[in-house]
Chains A and B, each alone.
Chain A
Amino acid sequence: MKKNIDGKELCPYKTMPRSQFWRNAVFETEKGLIDPVRNVGFKIGLEDKVATAGSCFAQHIARYLSNSGYNYYVAEQGPKAFPQEIRKRFNYGVFSARFGNIYTVRQLVQLLKRAFGKLEFSENCWEDNGRFYDPYRPFIEENGFTSRKELLADQQGHLTNVKKMFEELDVFVFTLGLTEAWISKIDGAVFPVCPGCGVGEFFKDKYEFHNFSFDEVTADLQEAIDFIKSVNPTAKFILTVSPVPLIATATNDHPLVATTYSKSVLRIAAQTIKERNDLVDYFPSYEIITGNYNRGAYFSSDLRSVREEGVKHVMNCFLRHYTNATNEEPKHASTKQTKVNINEELAEVICDEEMMEKAALK
């Protein structure tokens, strides 16, 4: 412990680097240069298979990774016979497997268990107007499947690819999105969207709302990591929290309050799990986008969607710290990019949650 000339111990803050102080680290730093990442636990090599999953925001990470020259791992590829735009339209390559958005950690746990044959649910198909939807990724197939048989065949192939993904990945980037979910009263199955919002049908005696607690999220996250390590002992993890606010809350709270609860729980759960486990990092996407230093500049006019500028900031930090990338921008995203094509890219980020709003506004 350092002491002053009188032999008294110095206040610890007196010897801290200036970068530990808000004034220097935030207030006096240009917005675009803010970099809250410190001491990453590992680096991503060019050959490392990086898989992504999580809420809508994870799609941005997937998009940048796939354009960064690093090995963005897609275990469930669409056949090459189909043009790229069709594969993308059918959600191939949007994530590392065709699982759609995984908003809650419980969803991740059940996906893992289903993929490895450890869990089956009573509900595996929603029929709606003669089309068939996968309850666990209801918007994965445009307009649903043509038959139950087709849905189940696709589901089986999907889960096989999910299993392969977890067995073979080197780095798993998971974006925690929500604590609010709708659950089957019958067997506890968690759905990515409320049944009846967009597809399916809502029955109050069949489904119930659940807002996961810190203990539940932490336990689920630990279970997911333990499970993945059990099938892939060298896997490394990067946890992020989505900065995207809740589109709606099923609690009685104001959406601001509900969002703060949800994000706080997820943020602390991620921190707790990082501290408990080796080779698990927390990456501050949430802080970069929501930090007041940017005065809300990273949110679109709806104050919810993240602007491309914000995503770019996040991914610049990500690639700077986790890779040796020199070209930190997506190959197709030059500074000459027009507003039109940026909007197109943003529109391409598919958000199941928005189905809830659309359904409610009908």
Chain B
Amino acid sequence: MDTVCIIGHSHGHMLKKGLKFIKNESFNYITPLIGTKAFTHPASFKADNAILLNKDVDSLIDHLKKGQGLESIHLLTAFHGNGYNQFYMIEDDEPFDFIFDDENVDDKLRFVSKQMVETGLDTFLINTRNALSILMQKGIGSVACIQTPPPNPSAEFMMDKLRIVRSDLTGDFKVTSSRLRHKLWLTMDSMYRKMCGELGVIYVCAPKETIDSNGFLLEKYWADMSHANELYGSILLDEHQKLINNLD
């Protein structure tokens, strides 16, 4: 039986919790803790493998080799992914806008180019790219990367969750408009797609049934301001299974 190894940061937690809903027993799932210790964030999410440096990749490979051949292991990764929110979840006093997919921009906001936005977001992708690039050279059966869950449309919900982490966030703080967050997410998504395509990494997209007509995460899958819940995680696991079953 092939093994699926789930590894990554905070988004990996929904996958791990989603395992309890998995009925198909054609894969053996493992969730090793490599890198720094797991921790629980006050806003409720957990993050494992909080850092994945080169030495951590080596530790992971050593760990996997102890079990079975690497070619029968399918790595399901969830490294980083919150870049678009880390970048601009709270609006500052100089909100900006940019063109994504030829749509119109808000003339009242400071205009920046998509290239500049991508450059800003790329700082959050560098470590993921490095880690995946090294992993792809190790002879693992397959390496997959999950798409970051679509953004949460509710500024109110996000603010409530944020205040759990930062009680000093008063009325002056404002969650960035859902419109801009969605564009940032789409931009980051296109960068992830490109990166995965170039590296030969499987990209596991958010299932259609989890997304509303405007492209946001449906409420029943919300966990906190940036993460999805275990139900979403289980659907993503199903998606991943379908993709690796279709591999040659």
Contact = CB atoms under 8 A, between A and B. Distances in A.
Contacts of A141: 113, 115
Contacts of A83: 120, 123
Contacts of A7: none
Interface in A35-50: none
Contacts of A86: 116, 119-120, 123
A157 B120 contact: no
A215 to B, nearest CB: 39
A17 interface: no
Contact of A153 (B95, B111, B115, B123): B111
A86 B117 CA distance: 10
13 contacts: A80-B93, A81-B88, A82-B116, A83-B123, A86-B119, A89-B119, A90-B112, A142-B115, A146-B115, A147-B99, A150-B99, A153-B111, A157-B110
B35 to A, nearest CB: 25
B114 interface: yes
Nearest to A142: B115
A80 B94 contact: yes
A127 interface: no
A149 B116 CA distance: 16
A83 B124 CA distance: 12
Interface in B104-152: 105, 110-116, 119-120, 123
Contact of A157 (B111, B119, B123): B111
Contacts of A142: 115
Interface string A335-354: 00000000000000000000
A145 interface: yes
**Which of B113, B114, B119 is packed against the most chain A CB atoms within 10 Å?**
B113
B94 A143 contact: no
A147 B113 CA distance: 10
Interface of B: 87-88, 92-96, 98-99, 102, 105, 110-116, 119-120, 123
Nearest to B116: A90
A83 B93 CA distance: 15
Given A90-B116, A145-B115, A146-B115, A79 B99 contact: no
A154 interface: yes
B115 A79 contact: no
Given A83-B120, A83-B123, A154 B94 contact: no
Contact of B92 (A80, A89, A146, A149): A80
Interface in A48-97: 77-83, 86, 89-90
A94 to B, nearest CB: 14
A90 B102 contact: no
A81 B113 contact: no
Contacts of A146: 99, 113-115
A77 B95 CA distance: 12
A82 B123 CA distance: 11
Contacts of B120: 81-83, 86
A288 B94 CA distance: 40
Contacts of B93: 80
Given A79-B110, A81-B87, A143 B102 contact: no
A78 B113 CA distance: 11
B104 to A, nearest CB: 9
Contacts of A143: 115
Contacts of B105: 153
A79 to B, nearest CB: 4
A159 B87 CA distance: 27
Contact of B114 (A78, A150, A156): A150
A143 B118 CA distance: 13
B112 A79 contact: yes
A305 B45 CA distance: 55
Interface string A123-153: 0000000000000000001110111011001
B181 to A, nearest CB: 12
A79 B96 contact: yes
Contacts of B114: 146, 150
A145 B98 CA distance: 12
Nearest to A90: B116
Contacts of A154: 111-113
